[in-house]
Structure 1
Amino acid sequence: MNTRFLKLLAFAAAMAFCLATPGAAAQPGAAAGIRSIAAESLAATPTARPYDERDWLQRFYAPRAYAPAWSEHQANLALALLQGAAVHGLSPEEYGADALRTRLDSGDPRFDTTMTRAMLHYLADLRVGRVRSEYHTALPDPRLKQFDPVEQLRAALDGGGLAAAIQASEPAFPFYARVKDALAHYRQLADEPQQDILPSAKKIKAGEPYRGAAQLRVRLMLLGDLPTDAAPVPDKLYTPELAEGVRQFQLRHGLEEDGVLGKETMAALSVPLPRRVRQLELTLERLRWLPLFGPGRLIAVNLPAYRLWALQLGGPGQEAPLEMRVIVGTAVKTETPLFIGQMRYLEFNPYWNVPRSIALGEILPKLMRNRAWLAENDMELVAAEGGQQGSNAGDDALADLRAGKVRIRQRPGPQNALGAVKFAMPNPMNIYLHSTSQRELFARSRRDLSHGCIRVEKPLDLAHFVLGGQPGWTFDSIEMAMEPGPMRKVSLAAPVPVVLFYATAMVDREGRVLFSRDVYQRDPLLEAALQAHRE
Structure 2
Amino acid sequence: MLRQHLQAAIALAAILFGNPGAAPAQERPDQALVRTLASAPLQVSTAHAWNGRDWLDRFYAPRGYAPAWNRQQAEAALALLEQAPAEGLDPGDYQADELRRLLDDAQASQARRDVAFTAAMLHYLADLRLGRVRSEYHTAGTDPRLAHFDPVELLRGALGKASLADAVAAAEPQVPLYGRVKQALARYRELAREPQPRLPSPRKTVAVGDVYAAVDELHDRLVLLGDLAGDEPGPQDGLYDATLAEGVRRFQGRHGLPETGELGAATVAALNVPLAQRVRELELTLERLRWIPDLPAGPMVAVNLPAYRLWAFDRANPAAQPLEMRVIVGQAVKTPTPLFIGQMRYLEFNPYWNVPRSITLKEVIPKLERNHGYLATNDMELVGQGGVTTTVSAETIAELRSGKLRVRQRPGPRNSLGAIKFAMPNPQDIYLHSTPNREFFLKSRRDLSHGCIRVEQPAELARFVLRNDPRWDIDQIQAALQPGPTRRVDLPATVPVVLFYATALAGRDGKALFARDIYRRDPQLEQALKEHSDAAASK
TM-score (norm 2): 0.92
- Equivalent pair of 1:309/1:320 in contact (CA under 8 Å): no
- Aligned partner of 2:491 in structure 1 is 492
Q: Specify the SS of the correspondent of 1:69.
A: coil
Contact 1:89 1:284 in 2 (8 A): yes
Alignment of structure 1 residues 327-338 onto 2, 5 Å: 327-338=328-339
> Aligned partners of 1:311, 1:116: CA distance in 2, in Å?
39
Measure, in 1, the Cα distance between the counterparts of 2:369 and 2:121.
65
1:141 Cα deviation (Å)?
2.4
The CA distance in 2 between the partners of 1:47 and 1:113, in whole Å, is: 21
Aligned equivalent of 2:187 = 185
Partners of 1:195 and 1:506 lie apart in 2 by: 22
Q: Would the alpha carbon gap of residues 27 and 98 (structure 1) be closer, same or farther in structure 2, given more than 3 Å must change?
A: farther
Contact 1:310 1:320 in 2 (8 A): no
Aligned alpha-carbon RMSD (Å): 1.7
Instruction: Return the offset for 1:320.
Output: 4.6
Quote the residue 1:399 is aligned against: 398
Question: Counterpart in 2 of 1:277?
Answer: 279
Residue 436 of structure 1 pairs with residue 438 of structure 2 = no
Distance 1:401 1:489, change over 3 A: same
Residue 58 of structure 2 aligns with an amino acid whose one-letter code is R
Q: Is 1:476 the equivalent of 2:478?
A: no
What SS class does the counterpart of residue 221 from structure 2 fall into?
helix
Over residues 310-369 of structure 1, what are the superposed CA-to-partner deviations in whole Å (9 max), with x where a residue is unaligned?
12102243x452011000000020000000010000000000000111112111111112
| SS of aligned partner of 2:40 | helix
**What SS does structure 2 have at the residue aligned with 1:264?**
helix
Aligned length: 508
Q: What secondary structure, in the 3-state scheme, does the structure 2 residue paired with 1:217 have?
A: helix
**Distance in structure 2 (CA, Å) of the matches to 1:65 and 1:510:** 50
Give the SS at the match of 2:240: coil
1:360 pairs with 2:361: yes
Q: Unaligned regions of 5+ residues in structure 1, if any?
A: 13-25
Query: Could you list the per-position Cα deviations for residues 90-125 of structure 1 after superposition, in whole angstroms to 9, with x for gaps in the alignment?
Result: 122221222212211113222111100010011101
Match of 1:421 in 2: 420
Q: Which residue of 1 aligns with 2:87?
A: 88
In structure 2, C-alpha distance between the alignment counterparts of 1:511 and 1:117, rounded to whole Å = 35
Aligned ranges 1:383-394 → 2 under 5 Å: 383=384, 385=385, 387-389=387-389, 391-394=390-393
What is the letter of the counterpart of residue 468 of structure 1?
R
SS in 2 for 1:40: coil
Q: Report which stretch shifted further, 200-209 or 514-523.
A: 200-209
Matched residue type, 2:362: G
In the superposition, the TM-score normalised over structure 1's length comes to 0.92
Three-state SS of the structure 1 residue aligned to 2:161 is helix
Residue equivalent to 1:35: 35
Q: Secondary structure at the match of 1:509?
A: coil
Greater alpha carbon shift after TM alignment, 521-530 vs 228-237? 228-237
Q: Is the 8 A contact 2:99 2:116 kept in 1?
A: yes
- What are the residue-to-residue correspondences of 1:291-310 with 2, within 5 Å? 291-310=293-312
Q: Which amino acid aligns with 2:512?
A: V
Find the counterpart in structure 2 of residue 257 from structure 1: 259
Equivalent residue number for residue 212 of structure 2: 210
1:85-234 equivalences under 5 Å are 85-107=84-106, 108-109=108-109, 110-192=112-194, 194-202=195-203, 203-234=205-236
Q: Following TM superposition, by how much is the alpha carbon of 1:47 offset from its aligned partner in structure 2, in angstroms?
A: 3.0
Percent identity between the aligned chains? 59
CA distance in structure 2 between the aligned counterparts of 1:39 and 1:196, rounded to whole angstroms: 54
Conserved? CA contact 2:329–2:336, under 8 Å: yes
Q: Deviations for 1:136-164, whole angstroms, at most 9, x for unmatched residues?
A: 11144232232111111111111122111
Q: Any conservation in 1 of the 2:137–2:293 contact (CA below 8 Å)?
A: no
Aligned to 2:67: 68
Give the whole-Å Cα distance in 2 for the aligned partners of 1:124 and 1:144: 9
Match for residue 22 of structure 1? none
SS in 2 for 1:251: helix
| Contact 2:299/2:316, CA 8 A, preserved across alignment | no
Q: Shift in Å at residue 243 of structure 1? A: 1.4
Q: How far does residue 27 in structure 1 lie from its aligned partner after superposition?
A: 7.6
Q: CA deviation at 1:280?
A: 0.3
1:531 matched to 2:533? The reply is no
Q: Which residue of 2 aligns with 1:16?
A: none
Contact 2:325 2:455 in 1 (8 A): yes
Q: Is contact 2:302-2:500 (8 Å) kept?
A: yes
